[in-house]
Structure 1
Amino acid sequence: MRLLLDSFWRAAAYCMRPRVIVLSLLPLLVIVVLAAGFGYFYWAPSVAWMRQALDAWPLLASFWSWIGGLFSSDVPALLAPLVVVFAATPVIVLVSLIVVAGLMSPALTQLVAERRFPALAKKKGASFAGSVLRSLGLTLLALVAIVASMPLWLIPPLVLVLPPLIWGWLTYRVMSFDALAEHADAEERAAVLRQHRLPLLAIGVLCGYLGAAPSIVWASGLLFAAAFFVLVPLAIWIYTLVFAFSALWFAHYCLDALGQLRLQRAEAPAPLVISSPESP
């Protein structure tokens, strides 16, 4: 419990550091770059294609003519850019978050290691490629578990328990592995994860609940369409900040636990070996 609370407050304090705040703003920069590139290369063809698609729907042809008679305007021409924006936004956001998440977790772990554990030896027990493949495999398992558990969501209490538990398990397995990848070897990593399984799972579940906070802002963006372009960047920034806090929490906990494990092993007395007398 001491380690759990200590790592929590340290992670919260680290979120106020300028480096962490700058990292949390990276998705917005990536989104601006991706959106500018999409607008430069694909905006006109995408709007033209969407306009043709809206005009080609026979069921909507009469509806467009009726709306156009009321407002004396070309409704498909007005809707096509909006549909392209709303369709492209989730893709751009998802790509930016994946890119930044892959950059943030190692950077935040390195920040914690440099400031708190500079003397902790790096045994490099996992490669970057292995970490990525493991994360993809665990994410696939979590998605299968989510889909398989959906019928149980009809039971009111379970819908509040099962999804955060599954995502918490995924967060615990991925982030604890990434936090120890640089400093622990395979045996030490297994020992830390085995000894601290329940606290790490609790951290993952709590971070899973925290990750639901941006959905409130997303819902507000849908309700107040006029503020969509303000609320959506705010939700992205909150989500990234929650991710940074989660990575920092796991880094503080796992590296502290690894340091304690090595200290215990160094202080443990060497086993006494009693040699048997040689036979004549």
Structure 2
Amino acid sequence: MGLLVDSFWRAAAYCLVPRVIALSLLPLALIAVVAGVGGWLLWADAVAWTQSALEHAHWLATLWGWLGHLGLGDPSGALAPWLVVLAALPVIVIVCVLAVAALVTPALVRLVAARRFAQLERRHGASLAASIAWAAGSTLAALAAMLVSMPLWLIPPLVLVLPPLIWGWLNYRVMAFDALSEHASKPERMAIFQRHQWQLLVIGVLCGFLGAAPGVVWLSGVVFAAAFFILVPLAIWIYTLVFVFSSLWFTHFCLAALEQLRQSPDTLSGVGSPPASSNLPAP
């Protein structure tokens, strides 16, 4: 717990470093272009298709009639943009995670290593190809989980729980792997994932819940159409900053855990495989 809290505060402090703030802006241009082009090409058609689907859904006919009696003239037209935004959020979040992992995380790892772990030996336990393959596999698994769980989002409590859990798992898999890829050997990486898997998952889930907060800004761009082109890029940058913080948290935690592992007298003993009670895969 001490390592978890210590790495949290260090990550928060590093977010105020001008170099880190500048790095958080790097993925914004790419993400904003992708989101802008996608919105320009697909927004009107997506909203129209969603509204048509809502209007022709027989199981919603009673609801539309009831809302009509209350004086709401076009409830499906008001709901359709929200549903399109809700469907786009997973794509935006995944693009943010991958952009930060590819463009920012290596620089953050070098920054933290230079400031705190200059004496920590680099054993290069994972190549760039292995990192890309790991991120791609984890992303596909997260997307599959999103698709399978989407019907459950209609249950109000679950829509607040399931997406952050999935993003947390994706954070845990991608960012912890990248934080250790340069400094840890493969056995060391497996040992840290085994010993600290629940702490790493907690970091991922907490950052997943933090990543849900910018959705309020994103949805405000739908409500306040005049401010759409200001609020949506702001939300994307907040997403990016959240994942930069997440990357810093994982980096501080993982490198400190690696340093402790190498100083331990029983380094790498008895950690060849995950415990039987664990259901989390070792990398």
Pairwise same-fold verdict (TM > 0.5): yes
Q: Deviations over 1:12-52 (max 9, x none)?
A: 0000001101011223444688899x8xxxx9xx9xxx9xx
**Partner residue, 1:263:** 263
Q: Give the Cα–Cα distance (whole angstroms) in 2 for the partners of residues 101 and 193 of structure 1.
A: 18
Q: Give the Cα–Cα distance (whole angstroms) in 2 for the partners of residues 167 and 22 of structure 1.
A: 24
Q: Deviations over 1:179-238 (max 9, x none)?
A: 000000010000001000111000000000111122111111111111112112211221
Q: Give the Cα–Cα distance (whole angstroms) in 2 for the partners of residues 34 and 167 of structure 1.
A: 20
**Partner residue, 1:195:** 195
Bigger CA radius of gyration? 1
Instruction: State the one-letter code of the partner of 1:127.
Output: S
Q: Deviations over 1:97-129 (max 9, x none)?
A: 444541101111111111000000000000111
**Partner residue, 1:128:** 128
- 2:150 pairs with 1:150: yes
Matches within 5 A, 1:161-240: 161-240=161-240
Compute the RMSD of aligned alpha carbons: 3.1
| % same residue | 63
Greater shift in the superposed pair: 117-126 or 142-151:
142-151
Greater shift in the superposed pair: 143-152 or 106-115:
143-152
Q: Give the Cα–Cα distance (whole angstroms) in 2 for the partners of residues 162 and 33 of structure 1.
A: 28
- TM-score normalised by length of structure 1: 0.70
Q: Give the Cα–Cα distance (whole angstroms) in 1 for the partners of residues 158 and 34 of structure 2.
A: 38
- TM-score normalised by length of structure 2: 0.70
Q: Give the Cα–Cα distance (whole angstroms) in 1 for the partners of residues 200 and 94 of structure 2.
A: 28
**Partner residue, 1:4:** 4
Q: Give the Cα–Cα distance (whole angstroms) in 2 for the partners of residues 151 and 255 of structure 1.
A: 39
Which ranges of structure 2 fall in alignment gaps of 5 or more residues?
45-87, 269-283
- Between Structure 1 and Structure 2, how many residues are aligned? 221
Q: Give the Cα–Cα distance (whole angstroms) in 1 for the partners of residues 218 and 35 of structure 2.
A: 19
Q: Is the 8 A contact 1:27 1:96 kept in 2?
A: no
Which ranges of structure 1 fall in alignment gaps of 5 or more residues?
51-88, 269-280
Instruction: State the one-letter code of the partner of 1:147.
Output: L
**Partner residue, 1:246:** 246
Instruction: State the one-letter code of the partner of 1:211.
Output: G
